[in-house]
Amino acid sequence: MTIQIVRWPELATVLDALGAADGPCAVADLAAASGFTEKSVQGALTVLQRRDLVQQLDSARWDILMPLLRRWLRLRKALPTP
């Protein structure tokens, strides 16, 4: 997954945006939070779903599959960078 994230920065950015949210998000909301187009966000979500990191709840909303991952993403953001 690391190599894929390096080549496709939308993956990490979309995952971080979902992790920062308090619950499920629409593609449009993730696009606004990430600065990427809705098409790029949708593509990133599809890849993340194949990796069992996110799930599509209905036709419009996506969420992190495991609550522990959301917690880790938030804690990682709070740590100072070396």
What structural domains does the chain harbor? 2-72 (1.10.10.10)
CB 23 within 8 A of CB 58: no
Cβ neighbour number for residue 80 with a 10 Å cutoff: 4
CB 12 within 8 A of CB 44: no
Q: Looking at the predicted structure, is the pLDDT value of residue 27 above 90?
A: yes
Which of the pair, 80 or 19, is modelled with greater confidence?
19
pTM beyond 0.85: the answer is: no
Amino acid at the residue 69: L
Read off the tokens for 3.
């190599």
Q: Looking at the predicted structure, is the pLDDT value of residue 2 above 60?
A: no
Question: What pLDDT is attached to residue 28?
Answer: 96
CA atoms of 36 and 55, how far apart (whole Å): 20
